[in-house]
């Protein structure tokens, strides 16, 4: 099983609150990703990072932001949660080299509900 | 437009039976195709990865096939077990970008009944 962790696993929060979803991996991977997945739907890439101090937006527009200060840590922040942010958020990592896409290892996910 | 289509959307089989899941894709230029298993409330776990030159790859009771000419793949599960109940996701990677963008299907929801 891959060494990639997400906390919290479940979060119920009120509208307007600021939240941070944590993701960490111990595999030394340089690339990390955040996906959003609604029930019965495909995963959508919302953010990715090639390495420390590198962050890019993905295919799906998201009001969230990310940071990559350390290789192993890739937190996602919502400044003001809204009911439309209710979804499952999956973190993944791959590496160690650039170029061709390699195996992505996924964390267990965070199920976010905004009331 | 790069797309990945899976069928059927859902499938119910009895324990011990075999089944085959289908995946059609239009992703180009093609790099590789993966099948993932996603248990309810968990992250996807890789079952197989196949490149352009590979026609078939097995992982225990799971056997994936790839026809790069027709852009089709299948995942065959042999002697199904209750623990096989999950969503099976087909994912295709392109080689047109440094990131190697992944395109996800919506998955086939498999339920195995005792």
* Interface contact flag, A102 B104, Cβ < 8 Å: no
Nearest residue of A to residue B6 by CA position?
A42
- A71 close to B5: Cβ distance less than 8 angstroms: no
Tokens read off for B10: 């859902």
* Interface contact flag, B98 A106, Cβ < 8 Å: no
pLDDT tens profile B36-69: 999 988 899 999 999 888 999 999 999 999 999 9
Best mutation target, A42, A91, A105, to test chain B (most B CBs within 10 A): A42
Of these ranges, A53-67, B9-23, B26-40, the one predicted with the greatest mean pLDDT is B9-23
**Mean pLDDT of all residues in chain A?**
90
Q: Considering only the beta carbons, identify the residue of B43, B100, B104 that sits closest to A101.
A: B100
Beta strands per DSSP E along chain A: 4-7, 10-13, 19-25, 31-37, 44-49, 56-57, 65-66, 76-78, 87-94, 105-106, 110-114
Chain A residue numbers touching B41 (CB-CB < 8 A)? 108-109, 111
The 3-class secondary structure across chain B, one letter per residue, is CCCEEEECCEEEEECCCCEEEEEEECCCCEEEEEEEEECCCCCCEEEEEEECCCCEEEECCEEEEEECCCCEEEEEECCCCHHHCEEEEEEEEECCCCCCCEEECCCEEEEEEC
pLDDT band at B100; cut points 50, 70, 90: low
Nearest residue of B to residue A90 by CA position?
B43
**What is residue A83's three-state secondary structure?**
helix
**What is residue A24's three-state secondary structure?**
strand
Chain B residue numbers touching A90 (CB-CB < 8 A)? 43-44
Question: Tokens 């906390």 map to which residue?
Answer: A7
* Interface contact flag, A109 B41, Cβ < 8 Å: yes
pLDDT band at B5; cut points 50, 70, 90: very high
Q: What are phi and psi of A105, to 5 degrees?
A: -105, 130
Sign for the CA dihedral angle at B30, B32, B33, B37 comes to negative
Nearest residue of B to residue A95 by CA position?
B99
Chain B residue numbers touching A107 (CB-CB < 8 A)? 43
- B59 close to B48: Cβ distance less than 8 angstroms: yes
- A77 close to A69: Cβ distance less than 8 angstroms: no
pLDDT tens profile A14-45: 999 999 999 999 988 889 999 999 988 999 99
């Amino acid at each position: 099983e891959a060494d990639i962790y997400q906390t919290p696993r479940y979060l119920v929060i009120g509208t307007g609150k600021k939240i941070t979803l944590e993701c960490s991996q111990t595999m030394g991977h340089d690339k990390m990703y955040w996906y959003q997945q609604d029930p019965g739907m495909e995963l959508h890439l919302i953010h990715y990072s090639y390495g420390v101090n590198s962050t890019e937006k993905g295919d799906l527009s998201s009001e969230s932001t990310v940071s990559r200060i350390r290789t192993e840590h890739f937190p996602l922040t919502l400044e003001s949660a809204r009911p439309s942010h209710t979804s499952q958020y999956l973190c993944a990592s791959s590496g160690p080299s650039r170029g061709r896409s390699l195996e992505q290892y996924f964390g267990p996910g965070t199920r976010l509900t905004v009331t | 437009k790069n797309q990945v289509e899976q069928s059927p959307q859902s499938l119910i089989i009895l324990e011990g039976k075999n089944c085959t899941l289908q995946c059609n894709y239009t992703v180009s230029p093609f790099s590789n195709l993966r099948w993932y298993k996603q248990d309810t409330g968990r992250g996807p776990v890789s079952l197989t990865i196949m490149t352009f030159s590979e026609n078939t790859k097995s992982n225990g009771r799971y056997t994936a096939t790839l026809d790069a000419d027709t852009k089709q793949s299948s995942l065959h599960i042999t002697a199904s077990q209750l623990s096989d109940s999950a969503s099976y996701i087909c994912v295709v990677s392109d080689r047109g970008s440094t990131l190697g963008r992944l395109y996800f299907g919506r998955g086939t929801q498999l339920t195995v009944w005792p």
